[in-house]
């Protein structure tokens, strides 16, 4: 399955990237490690590339899109749960009052994530996500969330795939929230997604066996969780890793030191006009230590404003 | 990467299978679901096939090969751990006294698995497994364990791959024990392996960040664990599932009821002469309920003795 958004010309596999040192570094790396005559040649099975998702493959402002899904779902169920209105966290979510919600910190967010992501079967949840992603629109940009993906990053994914890299998403976002749409939107197979999980249970007491999603956190795929999950789900150290926040640092530090030549990429959100500009002080997607560490370690930083010709795919691309 | 063992002729993709209803059922299924004009056509991304490993892709007698690895490793470390000799479970393992070991039941086995599989880094454990699998030999058959794979099953894996099925191992065996060698031996990529796990931890206190393997069980990929792990690691219901024991039943029951035409395959060990004959009463690899359930649900049963021309690859195949 190919993404809808990609149609690079024959001559330029990264047409949405401006010529410059970032694009050149990517092209040089891929040329070097895929050339059988290069001392840096990497055999195909070892060509593992991992991509963070929020703020790296699609936008993450004003807040993680998955939280908007959670609030939308709780709102749609509110009439059946009058008791939620008496709970300040649930009420904030139902009212989409993110300012009020954020006052309750991670505990508040976890509560609405569990309330909105559990107590369904795997198949029911899949349908809910698909329905939402097809119809919901971003509050300020007024476009479907799947059009708020970064066109240059999608081109990069496909460029690597074309050179036989196996591309994975490794995201703090929910595994089950991403799987239903990543294949069509990014061209990344749904079994090549690693993410945060809640507990599940096989249940064969009904007419048909089903997977039940339980209201209990299992694993957060962020920070040290990323290399742990890569070890567990992929079983090979990536040679190419890409992220945008300090939550990706452990993945990059670990992946950078494999036996093969590696390429570590950080996306710096520098474009207040076309997207958002944020880094060291941002609550969502903070990039602080990474900005200091990257130059010391020869990691590449994408400067969104200067390196990208366009941010999102053109509106008429569908 | 291709397995060393497979060289099917152009005309017959399953040359080690005898002509008969089992082989025919497999061929008919694959022809039907890969024909775009068939009402049973399955789109490529949905062609997920899962294979149990022990007793299904390779042998499992006199006991799981992974347990022999565990005992071999403990024996090799015994001199550094004189205290082990005073522990009856550890002593049984070091002495390869399986009869004594089995008296301690699952608790005893778990103890020797944790002692032999943890307290290393991911990379160290990988090297230990590789070293063992290259040198160890089966106690009665006197061949390397990687030559005790079922040639007809390897052909089946490759036949499905050729028809764009994505093939996964879903085994009660240890994930980290299988990954180092499955790619070369079966031609199944190491990230397409699902198995039992112990807890791990990312550790960046040393010179280089590493994954540490902890002496604590995390997950057993057997029985209900199989559909749970498939949901989590693969994210799609298989259309083709293959196993040999009652530990595979939940996987088969769940996979059999997807939206696509499915094929469920159970391997019945009926060949006391060329391999082993065991089913309803066996302690290792018991197939009891499955033998009753399969005919009621139109699952296919492979009769090892009658359906397979050869069991293992020829000795000179290397
Ligand atoms: Ca991110
Ligand atoms: Ca088995």
pLDDT one-digit tens code per residue, A8-22: 556 899 999 999 999
Picking from A78, A79, A87, A82, the residue whose alpha carbon sits closest to that of residue A116 is A78
Diameter over CA atoms, chain B = 68
Q: How far apart are CA B198 and CA A263, in angstroms?
A: 30
SS (H, E, C) chain B: CCCCCCCCCCCCCCCCECCCHHHHHHHHHHHHHCCCCCCCCCCHHHCEEEECCECCCECCCCCCHHHHHHHHHHHHHHHHCHHHHHCHHHHHHHCCCHHHHHCCHHHHHHHHHHHHHCCCEHHHHHHHHHHHHHHCECCCCCCEHHHCECHHHHHHHHHHHHCCCEEEEEEEEEHHHHHHHHHHHHCCCHHHEEEEEEEEEEECCCCCCEEEEEEEEEECCCCCHHHHHHHHHHCCCCCEEEECCHHHHHHHHHHHCCCCCCEEEEEEEECCCCCCEECCCCCCCCCCHHHHHHHHCCCEEEEHHHHECCCCCCHHHC
Model confidence at A1, in pLDDT bands (50, 70, 90)? Answer: very low
Q: Which of A48, A190, A254 sits opposite B236 (nearest CB)?
A: A190
Backbone torsions φ then ψ of B308, nearest 5 degrees:
-115, 130
Instruction: Calculate the alpha carbon distances from A48 to A43, A44, A157, A234, B258 in Å.
Output: 10, 9, 11, 9, 31
User: Considering only alpha carbons, which residue of chain B is nearest residue A126?
Assistant: B235
Q: Tell me the C-alpha distance between B6 and B186, whole Å.
A: 9
Contact criterion met (CB below 8 Å) for A88 and A104: yes
Reading the block at residue B145, the tokens are 């364990």
Q: How far apart are CA A39 and CA A42, in angstroms?
A: 9
Burial (0-12, 13-18, 19+ Cβ within 10 Å), A140: exposed
pLDDT the model gives residue A2: 40
pLDDT of residue A4: 45
Give distance in angstroms: CA of A186 to centre of ligand 1: 16
- Per-residue pLDDT of B112-147, as tens digits, reads 999 999 999 999 999 999 999 999 999 999 999 999
> Tens of pLDDT along A95-116?
999 999 999 999 999 999 999 9
CB contact under 8 A, B209 and A254: yes
Radius of gyration of chain A (CA): 20
pLDDT at B7: 52
Find the ligand nearest to A290 CA. 1
Q: Which pLDDT belongs to residue B205?
A: 95
Question: What CA–CA distance (Å, rounded) separates A312 from A142?
Answer: 13
Q: Which chain A residues are within 8 Å of B201, Cβ to Cβ?
A: 224, 228
Alpha carbons A53 and A172: distance in angstroms, whole number: 8
A86: which 2 tokens?
A: 């008496």
Contacts of A214 in chain B (CB under 8 A): none
Task: Report residue A72 as tokens.
Answer: 């939308």
User: Using a CB-CB distance cutoff of 8 angstroms, which residues of chain A are in contact with residue B179?
Assistant: 235
Handedness of CA A114, A120, A121, A124 (dihedral sign): negative
Domain extents in chain A: 21-60+149-317, 65-135
* Gyration radius of chain B's alpha carbons: 20
Q: How far is the CA of B52 from the centre of ligand 2 (A)?
A: 6
- pLDDT < 70 stretches in chain B: 1-10, 316-318
| CATH number, span B21-59+142-317 | 3.40.50.1000
Q: Which residue of A has its CA nearest to B175?
A: A232
| Percentage of chain A modeled with pLDDT above 90 | 95
* Segment A132-157, tens digit of pLDDT: 999 999 999 999 999 999 999 999 99
Cβ contact, residue pair B211, A228, below 8 Å: yes
Interface test with B, best of A164, A227, A239 (most B CBs within 10 A): A227
Subunit contact B200:A231, Cβ cutoff 8 A:
yes
Question: What is the pLDDT, as a whole number, of residue B2?
Answer: 40
Ligand 1 midpoint to CA A286 (Å): 9
Taking only the tens place, the pLDDT of each residue in A259-310 is: 999 999 999 999 999 999 999 999 999 999 999 999 999 999 999 999 999 9
Tell me the C-alpha distance between A117 and A126, whole Å.
10
CA distance A151 to A157: 10
Q: Which of A197, A204, A224 sits opposite B232 (nearest CB)?
A: A197
Q: Report the distance separating Cα B164 and Cα B34, nearest Å.
A: 9
CATH dotted code for A21-60+149-317: 3.40.50.1000
Mean pLDDT for chain A? 95
- Look at residue A10 in the predicted model and tell me its pLDDT: 63
pLDDT at B307: 98
Terminal Cα distance for chain B, rounded: 15
Nearest to B190 among A193, A201, A236 (CB): A236
Contact B232 A204 (CB under 8 A): no
Chain B residues closer than 8 Å to A205 by CB: none
Question: Nearest Cβ partner of B235 from A48, A179, A257?
Answer: A179
Query: What's the rounded mean pLDDT across residues A31-43?
Result: 98
Cross-chain residue pair B175–A235, CB shorter than 8 Å:
yes
User: In the prediction, which pLDDT does A3 show?
Assistant: 43
Judged by its nearest atom, the ligand closest to the C-alpha of residue A57 is: 1
- Identify residues whose C-beta is under 5 A from ligand 2, the ion: B 52, 54-56, 244-245
**8 Å CB contact of A209 and B253:** yes
DSSP letters for A233-273: II-S--SEEEESSGGGHHHHHHHHTSSS--EEEEEEEE-TT
Residues paired with residue B58 on neighbouring β-strands, in sequence order: B54, B149
Look at B193 and A257 and tell me if their CB atoms are within 8 Å.
no
């Amino acid at each position: 399955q190919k993404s809808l958004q990609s149609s690079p010309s024959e001559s330029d596999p990264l047409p949405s990237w401006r010529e410059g040192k970032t694009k050149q570094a990517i092209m040089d790396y891929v040329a070097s490690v895929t050339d059988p005559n290069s001392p840096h040649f990497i055999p195909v099975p070892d060509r593992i590339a991992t991509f963070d998702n929020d703020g790296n493959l699609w936008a993450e402002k004003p807040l993680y899109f998955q939280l908007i899904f959670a609030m939308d779902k709780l709102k749609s169920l509110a009439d059946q749960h009058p008791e939620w209105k008496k709970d300040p966290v649930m009420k904030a979510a139902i009212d989409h009052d993110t300012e009020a919600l954020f006052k309750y910190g991670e505990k508040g967010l976890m509560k609405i994530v569990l309330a909105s992501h559990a107590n369904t079967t795997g198949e029911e949840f899949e349908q809910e996500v698909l329905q939402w992603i097809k119809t919901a629109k971003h509050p300020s940009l007024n476009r479907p969330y799947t059009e708020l993906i970064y066109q240059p990053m999608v081109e990069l994914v496909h460029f690597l795939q074309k050179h036989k890299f196996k591309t994975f998403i490794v995201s703090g976002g929910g595994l089950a929230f991403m799987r239903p749409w990543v294949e069509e939107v990014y061209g990344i197979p749904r079994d090549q997604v690693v993410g945060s999980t809640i507990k599940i249970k096989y249940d064969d007491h009904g007419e048909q066996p089903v997977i039940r999603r339980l209201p209990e956190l299992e694993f957060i795929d962020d920070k040290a969780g990323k290399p742990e999950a890569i070890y567990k789900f992929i079983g090979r150290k990536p040679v190419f890793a890409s992220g945008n926040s300090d939550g990706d640092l452990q993945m990059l530090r670990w992946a950078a030191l494999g036996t093969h030549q590696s390429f570590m990429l950080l996306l710096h959100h520098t474009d207040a006009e076309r997207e958002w500009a944020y880094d060291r002080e941002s609550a969502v997607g903070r990039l602080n230590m990474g900005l200091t560490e990257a130059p010391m370690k020869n990691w590449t930083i994408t400067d969104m404003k200067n390196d990208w010709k366009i941010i999102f795919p053109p509106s008429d691309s569908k």
